[in-house]
Amino acid sequence: MKETEQEHEIKELVWVGSPHKDLKDFPPEVQDEIGYALYVAQKGDKHPKANH
């Protein structure tokens, strides 16, 4: 796979248990931040606000 193709590869997100439902209980701003962090993780990167 070419480097540019790897940069765009997004891994599947699998919800186990109730986290997806639980996420909906948070305020919209928090849902957006967590959603973006999950997207970044799916791409193999680390969200700037993530600890270690």
Q: Residue 37 falls within a domain, yes or no?
A: yes
Q: Residue 48 falls within a domain, yes or no?
A: no
Q: What is the mean pLDDT of each run of 10 residues along the chain (52 residues)?
A: 63 92 95 94 89 72
pTM, two decimal places: 0.73
Compute the 3-state secondary structure of the chain and give helix, strand, coil in percent, each to the nearest 5.
50, 0, 50
Q: Residue 9 falls within a domain, yes or no?
A: yes
Q: Would you state the pLDDT for residue 50? A: 84
Number of helical (H) and strand (E) elements in the chain, helices listed first: 3, 0
Q: Residue 50 falls within a domain, yes or no?
A: no
Domains of the chain: total: 1
